[in-house]
Structure 1
């Protein structure tokens, strides 16, 4: 399973139940369209941190990094496996 598919499947399971995976376009704006609220964004970041071992607390990120599946995929591939700052 690719990172993109994994993220898409998680977003659908958590925030868009019943939507076929292939129907969520990777550029669909999750924030603007109300799929993910600010609280849900925190939950998503926690899941990504656990799933991909990303120390988000140590990184400079913005909501735009989580605006779409494509944006999230870029963040994950850029930061996956980085060691936490000490």
Structure 2
């Protein structure tokens, strides 16, 4: 399963159980629409950092990083690119 699909599956199972993956637009703003609030962002951050092996002490996190499926995917991609750059430097 590709990462955006996996992120969608998590968000739907936790916060949008009445939707299918096809119904969740990857740019849908989960914060502005009230689907997730600041406390629920913590759950999303915990899942993302655990699932993708991102150490919290090595990243700067803002709520905007977890605003949508695409934002979460971009956050993980940015971490992976930074990690790969440091490994190959």
Do these two structures clear the TM 0.5 threshold for a shared fold by scoring above it? yes
* Cα gap change, 1:48 to 1:76, in 2 (>3 Å): same
2:16 aligned partner: 16
Q: Which structure: greater helix fraction?
A: 2
| Larger Rg computed on CA atoms | 2
Aligned CA RMSD, in angstroms, stands at 1.4
Kept in 2, the 8 Å contact 1:45–1:56? The answer is no
Task: State how many pairs are aligned.
Answer: 82
2:87 aligned partner: none
Deviations 1:3-62 (A, max 9, x none): 000000100000000211110001100000011111110011001111000113331121
In structure 1, C-alpha distance between the alignment counterparts of 2:19 and 2:37, rounded to whole Å: 18
TM-score (structure 2 length as normaliser) = 0.85
Kept in 2, the 8 Å contact 1:15–1:35? The answer is yes
Q: Which runs of 4+ in 1 moved over 4 A?
A: none
